[in-house]
Amino acid sequence: MQGPAAPGGVPAARRKGVTGTRRWVAAVFLLPALVLLGALVVYPIAYTLWRSLFDKAGSGFVGLENYGSVFSDDSTLTALRNTAVWVVVAPVLATALGLVFAVLTERVSWGTAFKLVVFMPMAISMLAAGIIFRLVYEQDPARGAANAVVVGVHDTFADSSAYPGARPRPGGELAASGGGSYTTQQAARQGTAVALPLIGIPAAELPAGTGAARQAAAGPGVTGTVWLDFKPGGGGTAGAVDAGEKALKGVRVEAVKDGRVVASATSGADGTFALPASAAGARLRLPASNFAQPYNGIDWLGPTLVTPAIIGAYLWMWAGFAMVLIAAGLAGVPRELMEAARIDGANEWQVFRRITVPLLAPVLVVVVVTLMINVMKIFDLVYIIAPSTSQDDANVLALQLFLSSFGGGNNQGVGSAIGVILLLLVVPVMVFNIRRLRREARR
């Protein structure tokens, strides 16, 4: 016995969909996908939502208390702020870089090779990229590539101090006078030789070719000697130039009267210096520039710069992704529009701003939205690159979820609440993307 006939006389049991396939056949083929979707997506979301309403042990119902704990915890609030920075900054910068790369390499013969090089970091895992950039951002210029470049540029334009860390003997004639400088306690007299002994410099670290110190002879003005007051093997008299003690060449000596520098000189190869007669009655100062520590670069992974530094590592990986998608969209831009604009007198910037960018707008939106979803779940780079001293300053929601649930907090109730919040933040972006795709399909 056949079932009731559908409009048009076709039995309901034999009714077909618009694709010409019986509905029960379609359901059979869709069933495995639906089971996987339920097991891998729907069930975890439902369980996470349910678990967020229970306490740390999972046995006591606490309602929305975990959500209150999330928004009252300083670490989570920092993670929320940093995630907002990531969502706003990283996708925009990655898309902008991809757009620049795609446009600039469009008409050069080596453009394909350049795109390949830029896209290659996408083949590297987040773990490997994190390790690479942890080394790049090392503070020590001998190990960190970033600071090696920064220090190299700095030292090209700025002189380094001659004897970093040098200091006078405690209780001697030289005393600290603020700002890292040292000044004699007594005014210098004309026709006298002043002794300016220093310590704190390993003999092995003296510049190559350093000679022996010599006691300065009295002259018409003010003379003196700057030397390392240390005799190899011990012995000698403190504050006196002994045989075997080394001169300190290139030390700047200033004569200061009433807070004003009236004369200056630099010690020679034997450590001696000579000031004019105008220096008589002045106190002698060794400025801090003689003893400043060498420039060690920028603290990339300190509390201030750790988040921008990690975003830089992210851009290194994902700018190639943006470039490839934008280049594909650029290939479909009508060339006649650009040529017509150039014939009408538009320069390249105007063509780029008024023609290229508006025509690429749908592609740019796809890239930005995709990267926004991607950065909301960023975890690996932050966990690996940020050192323990500044990890709290670089914290993001995905990392805080891990730390709360498994990384010492062991509170899966709070971790589940963070997961739900993260899902709620992703949903508006996904809804926007779906609506945009539907509008594109209707065109």
Phi-psi region of 250 (alpha: psi -120 to 50; beta: other; left: phi over 0): left
Q: If pLDDT is split at 50, 70 and 90, which confidence band does 91 have?
A: very high
pLDDT at residue number 263: 92
Q: Are 269 and 157 in contact (CB under 8 A)?
A: no
Q: What is the mean pLDDT of the chain?
A: 86
Residue 367 has pLDDT above 90, yes or no: yes
Q: Where is pLDDT greater, at 325 or 238?
A: 325
- Beta-bridge partner residues of 166: none
Residue 209 has pLDDT above 80, yes or no: no
Span of 107-121, 201-215, 385-399, 412-426 with lowest mean pLDDT: 201-215
- Residue 175's SS3 state is strand
Q: Where is pLDDT greater, at 13 or 162?
A: 162
Rounded CA gap, 87 and 375, in Å?
A: 6
Q: If pLDDT is split at 50, 70 and 90, which confidence band does 28 have?
A: confident
Tokens 């403190």, residue? 238
Q: Tell me the pLDDT tens digit for each residue of 247-289.
A: 999 899 999 998 899 999 999 999 999 999 888 899 999 998 8
Q: Are 287 and 163 in contact (CB under 8 A)?
A: no
Residue spans of beta strands (DSSP E) within 150-220: 174-176, 182-184, 193-198
Tokens of 391: 């990890």
pLDDT at residue number 146: 93
Q: Tell me the pLDDT tens digit for each residue of 306-355.
A: 999 999 999 999 999 999 999 988 888 888 888 888 888 888 888 888 88
pLDDT at residue number 50: 93
First to last CA, the chain: 46
81 phi and psi angles, rounded to 5 deg:
-65, -45
Q: Tell me the pLDDT tens digit for each residue of 378-389.
A: 999 999 999 988
Q: If pLDDT is split at 50, 70 and 90, which confidence band does 180 have?
A: confident
pTM for the full predicted model: 0.76
Using alpha carbons, select from 300, 433, 437 the residue that is nearest to residue 376: 433
Q: Tell me the pLDDT tens digit for each residue of 9-24.
A: 555 445 555 555 678 8
DSSP 134: H
DSSP 269: T
Using alpha carbons, select from 416, 331, 322, 429 the residue that is nearest to residue 83: 429
Rounded CA gap, 248 and 238, in Å?
A: 16
Residue 131 has pLDDT above 80, yes or no: yes
Note every long-range contact of 255-262, with CB atoms under 8 Å and residues 24 or more positions apart, other chains counting: 255/188, 255/222, 255/279, 255/282, 255/283, 255/284, 255/285, 256/183, 256/282, 256/283, 256/284, 256/285, 257/281, 257/282, 257/283, 261/285
Rounded CA gap, 251 and 247, in Å?
A: 10
**182-184, strands of its sheet edge to edge:** 174-176, 182-184, 283-286, 252-257, 260-266
pLDDT at residue number 87: 93
Tokens 């004569």, residue? 255
pLDDT at residue number 8: 52
Residue type, position 388, single letter? S
Rounded CA gap, 425 and 372, in Å?
A: 10
Residue 1 has pLDDT above 50, yes or no: no
83: exposed, middle or buried (Cβ count in 10 Å: 0-12, 13-18, 19+): buried
Rounded CA gap, 388 and 265, in Å?
A: 48
- Residue 22's SS3 state is strand
Average pLDDT over every residue of 407-412: 78
pLDDT at residue number 169: 86
Average pLDDT over every residue of 353-374: 90
Q: Number of helices and strands (H, E) in the chain?
A: 16, 8
Tokens of 375: 């950065």
pLDDT at residue number 205: 78
Percentage, residues of the chain above pLDDT 70:
95
The two beta strands, 260-266 and 193-198, are unpaired
Residue 437 has pLDDT above 90, yes or no: no
Average pLDDT over every residue of 234-249: 84
Using alpha carbons, select from 55, 81, 77, 79 the residue that is nearest to residue 66: 55
Residue 212 has pLDDT above 80, yes or no: yes
Tokens of 401: 């979820």
Tokens 């960023």, residue? 378
**CA 265 to chain centroid:** 43
Residue 107 has pLDDT above 60, yes or no: yes
Q: Tell me the pLDDT tens digit for each residue of 39-84.
A: 988 999 899 899 989 988 878 888 888 889 888 888 889 999 999 9
